[in-house]
Amino acid sequence: MSRVGRWVSEHVVMVIALLVLCYMFLPIFFVVLMSFNAPTSRLNYEFQAFTWDNWLNPCAPAGMCESVVKSIEIGFLATVFATILGTLVAFALVRHRFRGRAGTSLLIFLPMATPEVVMGSSLLALFTTAGLAGTLGFWSILVAHIMFCLSFVVVTVKARLAGLDSRFEQAAMDLYANEWQTFWRVTFPLVFPGILAAALLAFSLSFDDFIVTNFNHGNTITFPMFVWGANQRGIPPQVNVIGTVMFAIALLLVLSGGVLQRRRER
């Protein structure tokens, strides 16, 4: 009994950790599992039989791959614009003292704090008021995505920049680097991990945004819109193939980042 008791007390943290991990990964496991399902009906809710078909014909459901491409296009552009603008805002907020700086810092948080569904519907009202109701589509989605990604980029880059010791830049200036060289040789490389993290966050926010997009997409179908639409009739298992691929890419990015970091430290 005492040996068992000791074993439990020594491993209780590990056991809890494993349970929490299971809690987190079980849903992802199901995403992967259902991508190999051969559903007998239109409903892909129960695992019936194993098949490679979904992986061999990922674009079989009409319009799905087009929607994935659309989402990637929007996600890519939104990421580029939000990252550039947000990084500039973060630099201004951390590195410069100006009137309204504290106010700006606060206002940047507002889009994050606003309920997304209200944000989406109000944005539709804004577009309609501006007389753009008939033109909703790719561009209105992009504008909306840049808008809500911006706050996350600013907050992420700001955190990294605030933690950056200004002595590195002073050392660079002391070593004959002018302002431009100091920025590109020292500041940017040191802030880059923050910018990269912000960009990845922006892309993932844009790629799977449903709520805001739902109000402002016009006739353009993004991947989340496709899944939502397909759900009316039964979701094809190929959706899980896309989900699994996205997950695998994200995992690969994280792992290669870790390997790179470790190699650099060696």
Partner 1 sequence: MADGRSAGADLTLTGVTKRFGGFAAVDDLDLEVASGQFFALLGPSGCGKTTTLRMVAGLEEPTAGTITIGGDDIGRLKPYKRPVNTVFQNYALFPHLNIFENVAFGLRRRGVKDVKSQVDDMLELVELGGYAKRRPAQLSGGQQQRVALARALINRPQVLLLDEPLGALDLKLRRQMQIELKRIQTEVGITFIHVTHDQEEAMTMADTVAVMNKGVIEQMGAPADLYDNPATTFVSNFLGQSNLVKASILDTHGDALVVDVQGTRIAAPVARARRTDGQVWVGVRPEKVFLGAAGVEEGSYDDNVLPSGTVTDVSFIGVSTQYLVKMPWGQELTVFEQNTGAREQFRVGDKVDLHWVAAHTFLLDADQDAHAGDETYAALSGAPTA
3-state SS class at 94? helix
Residues 93 and 101 sit within 8 Å (Cβ to Cβ): yes
Compute the least distance from the CB of residue 266 to partner 1, in Å: 8
Compute the least distance from the CB of residue 175 to partner 1, in Å: 4
Binding residues for partner 1, how many (CB under 8 A)? Answer: 19
Of 149, 147, 144, nearest to 217 by C-alpha is 144
Q: Which CB, 60 or 185, lies closer to partner 1?
A: 185
Cβ neighbours of residue 222 under 8 Å, at least 6 residues apart?
67, 70, 71, 74, 141, 209, 213
User: Contacting partner 1 (CB under 8 A), which of 177, 196, 197, 211?
Assistant: 177
3-state SS class at 194? helix
User: Contacting partner 1 (CB under 8 A), which of 185, 204, 214, 228?
Assistant: 185
3-state SS class at 50? strand
Q: Which CB, 10 or 165, lies closer to partner 1?
A: 165
Q: Classify residue 60 by its DSSP letter.
A: -
- At residue 190's C-alpha, the angle toward residues 187 and 196, to 5°, is 115
Query: Rule CB under 8 A: is residue 10 a binding residue for partner 1?
Result: no
Piece of the chain touching partner 1 by CB under 8 A; list 9-17, 18-26, 127-135, 170-178: 170-178
Q: Which CB, 65 or 190, lies closer to partner 1?
A: 190
Piece of the chain touching partner 1 by CB under 8 A; list 90-98, 126-134, 165-173, 238-246: 165-173
User: Contacting partner 1 (CB under 8 A), which of 135, 181, 231, 256?
Assistant: 181
Residues 125 and 144 sit within 8 Å (Cβ to Cβ): no
3-state SS class at 37? strand
- How far apart CA 112 and CA 110 sit, in angstroms, is 5
Compute the least distance from the CB of residue 163 to partner 1, in Å: 12
Q: Which of residues 205-264 bind partner 1 (CB under 8 A)?
A: 264
Compute the least distance from the CB of residue 154 to partner 1, in Å: 23
Q: Which CB, 57 or 181, lies closer to partner 1?
A: 181
User: Contacting partner 1 (CB under 8 A), which of 178, 219, 262, 263?
Assistant: 178
Residues 250 and 208 sit within 8 Å (Cβ to Cβ): no
User: Contacting partner 1 (CB under 8 A), which of 146, 149, 186, 198?
Assistant: 186
- Based on its alpha-carbon atoms, the radius of gyration of the chain, rounded to whole angstroms, reads 23
Piece of the chain touching partner 1 by CB under 8 A; list 58-66, 88-96, 103-111, 162-170: 162-170
Of 207, 90, 213, nearest to 150 by C-alpha is 90
Positive or negative, the CA dihedral 212, 215, 218, 219 is positive
Both tokens assigned to 81: 């614009």
Query: Rule CB under 8 A: is residue 97 a binding residue for partner 1?
Result: no
Q: Which of residues 189-208 bind partner 1 (CB under 8 A)?
A: 189-190
Contact residues for partner 1, defined by CB under 8 A: 165, 167-168, 170-178, 181, 185-186, 189-190, 264-265
